[in-house]
C-alpha cells in the first residue's frame, strides 16, 4: 500500500473540490491529495449533454484564481444581451487547465484520477487496483456530498419496456432519423434544456409532449448578471425581493408579489408552481417554452410501455415512432445538512443559495483564515438546495442571514469584494463587458431602476428592507410549518 502525508485529502475533483483546492493554494502553503473516480477533473460536466451550457454567467463560475470565458455579452441566441454562458466542453477544458497549469505545477497538489475513495483515508485505483492511504491527522474534505446526478449516468426512475425508444437527454445530440414525436420526461432545468434544444432546431412545438409532474418557479437570468451595466437591475431586483418578502401577509401574497416584481417567473401563468430549484432562464427562453401546449400534468411516470405511458394519476398514449427523452434525474438532490467543519472532516455544502462553487471557495477561505470551529461553522451556515416553493423562503432566509453576518466582519467583506466567484458583491467594480459598446447595457427595467435612484437608491432599498424581510420570512415559514405539522 502506498502512503501519503498531505495536509488535506480532497475527495472529488468536480467544480466544488476544484474551487476549494484553488483557494487553499492561494491562501495557505498546504499540500493536497485530490482523488476522483472519474478520469479527469470537472465532475458531472464530463458526462453532460453536448449542448448544455452553464445556467449562470461564466464570469463567476469555476475557481477563484482563473477567469472562465472572456466577459463577452452574447449577441445571438436566446441569451442575447446577457453575459456569456460556458458550454460543457469549455467548462471541462477550463478545469483541465486549472489542474495542469496551476495545481500540478504548484508542486503541492497530487491528483489521483480513476481512484475510488473507500472511506478511512484510503482509496483504490480502478485501473491497477493499487491501494493508497493517507496518514492519520490528514484533514479529509468531502467534495461529493452534493451528489449531483445527470441522466447520462443514472437510469430512469421508472420502468421502460424493452421495445420503447427512450434515451437520456444526451441522445438528442445524436438522432439519426427524425421520430414522429418527442416526449420529454421531467420539468426541471434539464427538461427545459431538452425542450429548448428541440425548439432551437426547428422542431414543431406541437410534436413535443412535455411531462411535468410539478410546475416550477424559475429565476430570470437578467437578474443574475455581474458588472456595473447590470448593477441597477441586479440590486434593484434584490431590493424588490426583500421588499416583497418584508410586506407579504401570506405565502400566496409573497409569490404573487415576487412574480409581479419579476423576481420569479413561471411558464404557465394559470398553474401555481410547487417546485423551486433555482432553474434559471431568460425571458426569451420562457417565451419559447410557452409554445409547447402538450403539457401533461398527471404526476410522475411509472412505466413507459409500447402503447401507453402510465403516470401516477392516469395514462397517455404513445407508440413506436415516439422518442422518449429522460430528463428525470435529480440534479442536485436534497441532502440532510451536516456540520461543514467537524474535527478533521470538512463536508462541502452550499452557503449561498444555489452557488456551489462560490460556497466551496468561501469554505476554503474560512478554513484558511479562522481557527475556532464554532466560528467557522457559524460563518458557514448551510443553505440546503431548494426543492419546493416553500423552500424559496428557507433558502432566501438562510442566505440573507449569512450575508448579514459576513458583512459585519471587515476582513470577510474585503475577501468577498475581491472574490471572482462572488458575482454579486462585485457589481460595482466589475470590468466592463468586452463588447458593451456594440450592445449597450441590457436588462429589462434598467432604465426604470436607474431613473428611480439607480444603484445607490436600490442599495438603500435593499439595506432598509433586509431586516424586516428576515423577520417576516421567519413568521411566514413558521405559519407554513405549523400548518404542515397540524395537517
Ligand atoms: C446541467 C447542469 C447545469 C448546472 N449549471 C450550473 C450553473 O450554471 N451554476 C452553478 O453554480 N451550478 C450549476 N450547476 C450545479 C452544479 O452541480 C455545480 O455547479 C457543481 O458542478 C457541482 O459540483 P460538485 O463538485 O459538487 O459535484 P460533481 O460534479 O458531482 O463532482 C463530484 C466528484 O466526486 C467524485 N466522486 C464521488 N464519489 C467518489 C468516491 N467515492 N471516490 C472518488 N471520487 C468520487 C465524482 O466522480 C465527481 O467527479 C449545474 C448542474 C447541472 C446538472
The ligand 1 site (C-beta within 6 Å) comprises: 11-17, 35-38, 43-44, 48, 52, 54-56, 61, 116-117, 143-144, 146, 148, 150, 331-332, 355-357
Q: What band does 461 get if pLDDT is binned at 50, 70 and 90?
A: very high
Q: Which pLDDT score, from 0 to 100, does residue 434 have?
A: 60
Q: Which residues pair with 346 in a beta bridge?
A: 141, 341
pLDDT, one tens digit per residue, over 124-175 is: 999 999 999 999 999 999 999 876 666 666 789 899 999 999 999 999 999 9
Residue pointed to by grid coordinates 432546431: 201
The closest alpha carbon to 241, from 220, 214, 227, 225, belongs to 220
The closest alpha carbon to 368, from 25, 15, 14, belongs to 25
The ligand 1 atom at the shortest distance from the C-alpha of residue 12 is 34
DSSP string, 135-177: -TT-EEEE--TT--B-TTTS--SSEE-TTS-EEEGGGGGG-SS
Cβ contact 385:334 at 8 Å: yes
Based on its alpha-carbon atoms, the radius of gyration of the chain, rounded to whole angstroms, reads 23
Residue 98 sits at the vertex; the CA angle it makes with 124 and 71, to the nearest 5 degrees, is 145
Q: Is the pLDDT assigned to residue 452 strictly greater than 80?
A: no
Q: Which residues pair with 33 in a beta bridge?
A: 9, 110
Edge-to-edge order in the sheet of strand 115-119: 2-4, 131-134, 122-125, 115-119
Pocket-testing residue among 55, 124, 424, ligand 1, by greatest number of atoms within 8 A of Cβ: 55
Q: Is the dihedral of CA 252, 256, 262, 266 positive or negative?
A: positive
Q: What mean pLDDT is reported for the chain?
A: 92
The ligand 1 atom at the shortest distance from the C-alpha of residue 49 is 1
Pocket-testing residue among 20, 33, 37, ligand 1, by greatest number of atoms within 8 A of Cβ: 37
Cell numbers for 140 = 479529509
Q: Which pLDDT score, from 0 to 100, does residue 82 have?
A: 97
Q: Which pLDDT score, from 0 to 100, does residue 439 have?
A: 39
Q: Is the pLDDT assigned to residue 441 strictly greater than 60?
A: no
Three-state DSSP at 250 gives coil
Three-state DSSP at 100 gives helix
pLDDT, one tens digit per residue, over 63-120 is: 999 999 999 999 999 999 999 999 999 999 999 999 999 999 999 999 999 999 998 8
Q: Is 34 exposed, middle or buried (0-12, 13-18, 19+ CB in 10 A)?
A: buried
Q: Is the pLDDT assigned to residue 450 strictly greater than 50?
A: no
Separation of alpha carbons 376 and 363, rounded Å: 8
Q: How many CB atoms lie within 10 A of CB 254?
A: 23
Q: Which pLDDT score, from 0 to 100, does residue 148 have?
A: 67
Is pTM beyond 0.75? Reply is: yes
Q: Which pLDDT score, from 0 to 100, does residue 453 have?
A: 56
Domains and CATH numbers, the chain: 2-147+333-418 (3.50.50.60), 149-215+271-331 (3.50.50.60)
pLDDT, one tens digit per residue, over 36-72 is: 999 999 999 999 999 999 999 999 999 999 999 999 9
Q: What band does 330 get if pLDDT is binned at 50, 70 and 90?
A: low
CA distance from start to end of the chain? 56
The closest alpha carbon to 408, from 359, 455, 375, 365, belongs to 375
Q: How far is the CA of 170 from the centre of ligand 1 (A)?
A: 17
Cβ contact 233:225 at 8 Å: yes
Q: Is the dihedral of CA 353, 354, 360, 362 positive or negative?
A: negative
Q: Is the pLDDT assigned to residue 310 strictly greater than 60?
A: yes
Q: Which pLDDT score, from 0 to 100, does residue 444 have?
A: 42
Q: Which pLDDT score, from 0 to 100, does residue 150 have?
A: 63
Q: What band does 227 get if pLDDT is binned at 50, 70 and 90?
A: confident
pLDDT, one tens digit per residue, over 357-409 is: 999 999 999 999 999 999 999 999 999 999 999 999 999 999 999 999 999 99
Pocket-testing residue among 36, 83, 326, ligand 1, by greatest number of atoms within 8 A of Cβ: 36
Amino acid at each position: 500500500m502506498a502512503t501519503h502525508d498531505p495536509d488535506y485529502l480532497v475527495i472529488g475533483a468536480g467544480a466544488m473540490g476544484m474551487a476549494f483546492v484553488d483557494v487553499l493554494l492561494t491562501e495557505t502553503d498546504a499540500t493536497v491529495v485530490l482523488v476522483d473516480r472519474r478520469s479527469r477533473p470537472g465532475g458531472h460536466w464530463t458526462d453532460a449533454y453536448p449542448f448544455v451550457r452553464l445556467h449562470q454567467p461564466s464570469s463567476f463560475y469555476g475557481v477563484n484564481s482563473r477567469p472562465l470565458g472572456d466577459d463577452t455579452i452574447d449577441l445571438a441566441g436566446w441569451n442575447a444581451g446577457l453575459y456569456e454562458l460556458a458550454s460543457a466542453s469549455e467548462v471541462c477544458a477550463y478545469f483541465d487547465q486549472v489542474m495542469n497549469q496551476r495545481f500540478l505545477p504548484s508542486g503541492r497538489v497530487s491528483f489521483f484520477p480513476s481512484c475510488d475513495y473507500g472511506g478511512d483515508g484510503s482509496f483504490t485505483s480502478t485501473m491497477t487496483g493499487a491501494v493508497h492511504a493517507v496518514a492519520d491527522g490528514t484533514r479529509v474534505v468531502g467534495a461529493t456530498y452534493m451528489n449531483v446526478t445527470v441522466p447520462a449516468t443514472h437510469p430512469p426512475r421508472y420502468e421502460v419496456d424493452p421495445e420503447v425508444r427512450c434515451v437520456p437527454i444526451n441522445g438528442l445530440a445524436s438522432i439519426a432519423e427524425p421520430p414522429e414525436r418527442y416526449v420529454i420526461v421531467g420539468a426541471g432545468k434539464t427538461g427545459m434544456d431538452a425542450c429548448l434544444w428541440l425548439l432551437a432546431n426547428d422542431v414543431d412545438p406541437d410534436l413535443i409532449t412535455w411531462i411535468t409532474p410539478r410546475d416550477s418557479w424559475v429565476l430570470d437570468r437578467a437578474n443574475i448578471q455581474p458588472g456595473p451595466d447590470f448593477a441597477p437591475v441586479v440590486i434593484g431586483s434584490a431590493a424588490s425581493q426583500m421588499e416583497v418578502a418584508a410586506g407579504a401577509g401570506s405565502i400566496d401574497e409573497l409569490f404573487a408579489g415576487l412574480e409581479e416584481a419579476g423576481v420569479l417567473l413561471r411558464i404557465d401563468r394559470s398553474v401555481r408552481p410547487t417546485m423551486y430549484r433555482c432553474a434559471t432562464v431568460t425571458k426569451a427562453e420562457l417565451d419559447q417554452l410557452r409554445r409547447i401546449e402538450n403539457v401533461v400534468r398527471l404526476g410522475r411516470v411509472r412505466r413507459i410501455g409500447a402503447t401507453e405511458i402510465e403516470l401516477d394519476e392516469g395514462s397517455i398514449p404513445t407508440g413506436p415512432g415516439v422518442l422518449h427523452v429522460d430528463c428525470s434525474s435529480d440534479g442536485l438532490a436534497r441532502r440532510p445538512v451536516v456540520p461543514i467543519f467537524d474535527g478533521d472532516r470538512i463536508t462541502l455544502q452550499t452557503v449561498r443559495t444555489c452557488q456551489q462553487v462560490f460556497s466551496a471557495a468561501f469554505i476554503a477561505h474560512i478554513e484558511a483564515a479562522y481557527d475556532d470551529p464554532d466560528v467557522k461553522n457559524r460563518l458557514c451556515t448551510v443553505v440546503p438546495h431548494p426543492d419546493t416553493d416553500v423552500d424559496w423562503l428557507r433558502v432566501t432566509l438562510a442566505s440573507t442571514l449569512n450575508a448579514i453576518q459576513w458583512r459585519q466582519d471587515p476582513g470577510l467583506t474585503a475577501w468577498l469584494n475581491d472574490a471572482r466567484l462572488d458575482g454579486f458583491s462585485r457589481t460595482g467594480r466589475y470590468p466592463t463587458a468586452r463588447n458593451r459598446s456594440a450592445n449597450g447595457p441590457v436588462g429589462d427595467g434598467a432604465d426604470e431602476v436607474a431613473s428611480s435612484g439607480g444603484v445607490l437608491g436600490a442599495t438603500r432599498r435593499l439595506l432598509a428592507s433586509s431586516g424586516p424581510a428576515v423577520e417576516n420570512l421567519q413568521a411566514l415559514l413558521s405559519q407554513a410549518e405549523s400548518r404542515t405539522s397540524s395537517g
